[in-house]
Structure 1
Amino acid sequence: MDSYLVTGASGFVGGHVVRDLRRRGHDVVAAGRRADRLPSGGETFVGDLDDLARASHRVDVVVHCAALSSPWGRRAEFEHANVTGTARVLDFARRVGTRRLVHLSSPGIYAAPRDRVGIREDEVDARRPMNEYIRSKLAAEELLSAAADRSDAPEIVVLRPRGIVGPGDPSLVPRLLRVHARVGVPLMRGGRGLVDLTSVENVALAVRLAATAEGVHGEAFNVTNGDPRPFGEVLEQLLRGLGLPLRGRPVPARAAYALAGALEGVCSVLPGRPEPPMTRYTVTTIAHSQTLDISKARRLLGYEPEVTLDESLAGYARA
């Protein structure tokens, strides 16, 4: 049985990964900043990624889930959390002789204000990142790609799970619900844009497969449920499960994108740089179809989604 250290274990995805691995009998060090939110039932390491310099756990696999994830923020904050933080994880893995590092990146690196269907892993345009989060995730992947060529590096595998949902989701669905309660959810292009979501349990499955698959050093893999659906239909199903009526607001996509850009410009010069009520990235994700090709994960990892989107939406509503 492999032993693991999972960063970001006090968060939504990292916590699921820890619990999934422990259920299967693995020894797992749950690493995170919030001791009160780390999964119980095993060893923990309390601290941020800088603190890994004092960690001495000998583990076979490191799973790097920790990240600062937001459509808005300061470049320096994202740089430290997502680029310097990834470097700290890599340093730890080298120092303790870890066999493999599984890094959770983001398909936000594919973002563009247009429809993109069946995006493959090599279809990344890094020239114009839409926000500082995306810039930092691109830089973290570049750092790992360079490290993969070094003889002292662990085997490195990158996963790009899109739109992670399920019980305990603290970000994606709550953001939608706040907007729904406040003003109604913008429905651009009639809500027909395809969204390609991933059940959190399927992310944990992909992590297990990426930790053990042969011949995948230096590879990146898209991960979704493989079940793209129109945004409006997903929203209506979620709200129905929560007993809420749909409050949609028809909004022209082009005008929304322009307004979001203007709001970003204003908020960037206001004291404290408050997050705009709407960002270009948010508009892009709900106005345009963006789906991922997961055939590479199926072929090389043996990945097949086990939990359906219907089950995840129902599970969130119950929770």
Structure 2
Amino acid sequence: MKALVTGATGFLGQKLVNRLKQNGYIITATGRNHEIGKQLADQQVQFIAANLDDQTKMESLCQNQEMIFHCGARSAPWGDYEGFYQSNVLGTRYLLQGALKHHVKRFIHVSTPSIYFQFEDRFQIKENDPLPTKKVNAYAETKWLAEQEVDQVWKEHQLPTITIRPRAIFGPGDQTIIPRLLRIHERGSIPLIEGGQVELDITYVENVVDALLLCASAPESCFGKKYNITNGEPKLLIDLLQLLFQRLGEPLRTREIPFSTAYRFARLFEWAYRLFRHNSEPPITRYTIGVIGKSQTLDIAAAKEELGYHPNISIEEGIDLFIRWWKNKL
């Protein structure tokens, strides 16, 4: 089976490429990180550096491919809308056009549950639950528009598509979620809103890879659908932090901060950075405060029943694997 993987130099993309290679796929990998691309090439993976907004490149990469795993995206809580639109919306459109032109058999799209986010507690969100009219940031807005591009191609051209929405991916190689918490802790303490009594879902990276591979072999009844992907183990933020630092063998240091206070500070930072530091990301954003200050859990029943998805690595096992990697890295 020949497969194109976009975002192959990212956290999820690298793990997917490794697993596809183990499963005998002939892989073409693309991404922006030339250093990681060279590492992939050294592993006998064809790597082609490209930006998602390069229409000619995206369409040509689809040639001779049987399957596309679209993991690539511009992902950040802050940034100019146009940059997100070009990468996330136009990049997806160009790949879909290439898939149609070159008769690709299946298009598997990685989206995000950020499209569900509102500044309120939400539990067991289903894929077809109403979405907020206004998305929380440019990333969420453009990923939702990208999903609509995928939907349109399925409806109008019957290109087999499946979309997954994995929540808060972590594991060895993660450079964002847990490493950011550890860096904050190193500087003093981790701020906790509502005492960390907010319920969250996170997902071990190899479980997401499992879901992608299940999409590759899923029946036609799954085409055109979306699936939430998590570990299926909602936990309180404080419990996750205590587990993490217990496994690290370090005392957890936290400080209490009211949601309203944190939100006001974040809004002030956003205002200042928008005016004076256009190209920099504020140290905190309202979205970041919302993520750690409001509960959000997802219903994964559809993925279990229709894809046959089952999280094989638990959160505790995943944290142990991350810590082993983190300590080796240090």
1:52-91 paired onto structure 2 within 5 Å:
52-55=58-61, 57-91=63-97
Q: 1:271 to 1:264 in 2, by over 3 A?
A: closer
2:4 maps to 5
Summarize deviations over 1:260-289 as a string: whole Å, max 9, x none.
223212221113343222111111111121
Give the unaligned 5+ runs of structure 2. 326-330
2:126 maps to 120
**Superposition deviation, residue 42 in structure 1:** 2.5
2:272 maps to 266
**Superposition deviation, residue 231 in structure 1:** 0.6
Could you tell me how far apart the structure 2 residues matched to 1:22 and 1:225 are? 24
2:287 maps to 281
2:317 maps to 311
Instruction: Report whether the alignment pairs 1:171 with 2:170.
Output: no
Could you tell me how far apart the structure 1 residues matched to 2:190 and 2:236 are? 14
- The answer as to whether partners of 1:109 and 1:124 remain within 8 angstroms in 2 is no
Q: Which sits farther off after the overlay, 13-22 or 267-276?
A: 267-276
TM-score for both structures, normalised by structure 1: 0.95
Summarize deviations over 1:87-119 as a string: whole Å, max 9, x none.
121122112211111100010111111111100
Q: Which sits farther off after the overlay, 306-315 or 265-274?
A: 265-274
1:26-175 paired onto structure 2 within 5 Å:
26-38=25-37, 39=40, 40-49=43-52, 50=54, 51-55=57-61, 57-151=63-157, 153-175=158-180
Could you tell me how far apart the structure 2 residues matched to 1:122 and 1:260 are? 31
Q: 1:83 to 1:183 in 2, by over 3 A?
A: farther
Superposition misfits of 4+ residues, deviation over 4 angstroms = none
Structure 2 SS opposite 1:112: coil
Summarize deviations over 1:192-219 as a string: whole Å, max 9, x none.
1111010100110000111211111110
Could you tell me how far apart the structure 2 residues matched to 1:182 and 1:70 are? 22
Aligned residue pair count? 317
**Superposition deviation, residue 166 in structure 1:** 0.3
Give the unaligned 5+ runs of structure 1. none
Could you tell me how far apart the structure 1 residues matched to 2:179 and 2:76 are? 13
Structure 2 SS opposite 1:31: strand
1:147-296 paired onto structure 2 within 5 Å:
147-151=153-157, 153-214=158-219, 215-296=221-302
Could you tell me how far apart the structure 2 residues matched to 1:124 and 1:249 are? 35
- The answer as to whether partners of 1:126 and 1:138 remain within 8 angstroms in 2 is no
Q: Structure 2: which amino acid aligns with 1:34?
A: N
CA RMSD of aligned residues (A): 1.5
Q: What is the aligned-residue identity percentage?
A: 36
Q: Structure 1: which amino acid aligns with 2:183?
A: R
Q: Structure 2: which amino acid aligns with 1:239?
A: F
2:307 maps to 301
Could you tell me how far apart the structure 1 residues matched to 2:66 and 2:280 are? 42
TM-score for both structures, normalised by structure 2: 0.92
Q: Structure 1: which amino acid aligns with 2:192?
A: L
**Superposition deviation, residue 124 in structure 1:** 4.0
Task: Please state which structure has a larger fraction of its residues in helix.
Answer: 2
2:328 maps to none
